[in-house]
Structure 1
């Protein structure tokens, strides 16, 4: 059985996936933003191994979270599930929008600093198909609050998640690294009127986390709910673009991609 770390698992889909994986015999470590959310996470998923805390909108807290995860020992799987969507511009202590910090920088930092697992799962979205893949001003430093648009920022960040899966899968051939679209689900993020199938989404997480099916033994693949292999935005396969995104993140965070 696998040992799995899931970011953003105090409630919603992350908690649902954690409970499902535990019911299948796996050991799961949860993540919450703060102590109160950690208490919520434990209540929602009482059979989890433990909960680690850290605010992913802070670079320093995200680095500390990686240290705390490593202190727990080796993991077979890391699932980058945490994410922000709609909302006003909220500047972090690092001077960028919280959405960019949580959706783009946090999975980069954690992937670089947590000891290599066997499998990486990056949660993207079908909305990445209409996202900006130019990698221009990905942290909104030039455009700032005046030009900030939460939907545009979200779509672009989901492009980054697909690129990360492909880039790390190419860089680290011993790690199976893939991305998934969970669909438009009736969660806190998706809203009550969402029409997606939670069971189809959970099945995709489980397949990639367990790594037993043939599809899960590949790398750099983007999956739709089902699990069904999807077709990511074409630019995500551009290796120069992949390297550029890694370089932008490394420069801003001070965290380099290990070999």
Structure 2
């Protein structure tokens, strides 16, 4: 029986490449994205990769927690089991922006929204796994569990992004401790050739630098993590190897409790 795989951020880049590869191996893929035109294109590509099998789809903006709750409700109503949740949606915000929910946009889109989604889907994920797309950029900073709103005057896009990538790793570590029935990992996909980034200089880097990884290769790593046996629960993967990240594991429990309070779950 085909597995059910939910991929957020699946309308472009790593998520779309992974969604196509999941479909090609016979999985039923649910494609989640924010932009309706890119989402439609991704659905077409995933359908083609799956020899015409119709994927699921849902449009959601993770800067709106109501969208995340609507996505979770749709998935709970539609699927008895979710075998893999790929928390891949995220991005880098060029200038400080506060969401309608009151949080800094990078922190909400990259950490609080996937935290909420995964928490709401926990029972459907029993016996399955969660794969969180993090980054080597996590070295840029540690999350402050007591401040998810930040301040406009001190905001810098790359450090803010790095803080959220640390949060992704800490979330996977703490999920492994609290939810032993769900395998949780995070990974660094490499510096991927996409339209990712904030500002012209960063976008130029992510499109043209010679050392970049293709979305297909990075998506392949996500698929490997969704398939592989004997993974380290809570592990942070660089390539096919669990690697020690530059995070303070003592922060994981506080971050979890603060995140649960922030999103009311």
Shorter chain as denominator, the TM-score bin is: 0.7 to 0.9
Deviation of 1:45 (Å): 2.3
- Name 1:57's counterpart in structure 2: 63
Tell me if the contact between 2:68 and 2:113 (Cα under 8 Å) persists in the aligned partners: yes
Which of the residues 128, 135, 155 maps onto 2:162? 155
Provide the C-alpha distance between the structure 1 equivalents of 2:119 and 2:167, rounded to a whole number of angstroms.
Answer: 15
Query: Secondary structure of 1:45's match?
Result: helix
**2:235 paired residue number:** 221
Following TM superposition, where does structure 1 have runs of at least 4 consecutive aligned residues deviating by more than 6 angstroms? none
Contact 1:204 1:223 in 2 (8 A): no
Provide the secondary structure at the position in 1 that maps to 2:75: helix
Unaligned runs of 5+ in 2: 198-205
In 2, Cα distance between the equivalents of 1:128 and 1:138?
16
* Structure 1 residue 34, shift from structure 2 partner: 4.9
Partner residue, 1:251: 261
1:98 to 93, 97, 105: 105
Q: Give CA-to-partner distance per residue, 1:12-64, whole Å, 9 cap, x none.
A: 11100111111112111100115434323223322452111211101111111
Larger RCO: Structure 1 or Structure 2 (Cα < 8 Å, ≥ 6 residues apart)? Answer: 2
What is the 5 A alignment of 1:128-207?
Answer: 128-140=138-150, 144-189=151-196, 191-194=206-209, 195-198=211-214, 199-207=216-224
Equivalent-residue separation in structure 1 for 2:18 and 2:116 (angstroms)? 23
Q: Distance in 1 between matches of 2:153 and 2:181?
A: 43
The number of aligned residues is 245
Distance (Å, rounded) in 2 between the aligned partners of 1:201 and 1:243: 29
Note the 1:8-87 alignment, pairs <5 A.
Answer: 8-46=9-47, 47=50, 49-73=55-79, 74-87=81-94
Residues 131-173 of structure 1: CA deviation (Å, up to 9, x unaligned): 2245452331xxx222211111100000000001011111111
Scaled by the length of structure 1, the TM-score of the pair is 0.88
Root-mean-square deviation over aligned CA pairs = 1.8
Offset at 1:234? 4.1
Other structure's SS at 2:207 match: coil
Task: Structure 1: state its 5+ residue gaps.
Answer: none
The TM-score, its normalising length taken from structure 2, stands at: 0.86
Residues 100-120 of structure 1: per-residue CA shift (max 9 Å, x gap): 111011111001101342100
CA distance in 2, matches of 1:139, 1:223: 29
Q: Cα 1:201–1:35, aligned 2, differ >3 Å: closer, same or farther?
A: closer
